[in-house]
Amino acid sequence: MTATSGTPDGWKTRPMRTAAAYALVLLSPALAWSAWVSWDGGYASNAMSVLWFVTVALGCLISGILAPRSKRHYFTLVAIATVSTIVTLYLWWSSEDETGLFMVGIIIVAPLVLVASGVVLLIGRLLARFTRGPTSGGGDGQ
């Protein structure tokens, strides 16, 4: 608590942490594509594809650490992460395949991305509990 305001010391950073969490899940797929795939003309090697997935997962993990601990934020972040990842994969794979068979991959990967983003965000939330304490984060418990 600060001596003058009676509020927790980090109250001003909470909106910044929330904004950063949302920005990470929204932008990680596109930024990872820019870092690992775009410079290779869109045709990434297997190693670059793996790095893309690892980078997106790392963005979700950090987002889970930064986000407030409420169900509302958790489910919203999962939805944004899933949509952002699927849209990026669609744009990436559609640029490489003119036959339309990439849609089979999108259909297969969509439920996997949904589950994976939820799990990785949850791991981030659990890590935050150990690093920030059990009551920090401003979660409203919804």
Q: How confident is the model at residue 134 (pLDDT cuts 50, 70, 90)?
A: low
Instruction: Determine phi and psi for 76, rounding to 5 degrees.
Output: -65, -45
pLDDT in tens, 39-86: 766 566 788 889 999 999 999 999 999 999 899 999 999 999 999 999
Query: What end-to-end distance do the CA atoms of the chain give, in Å?
Result: 25
And the tokens for 70?
């409420």
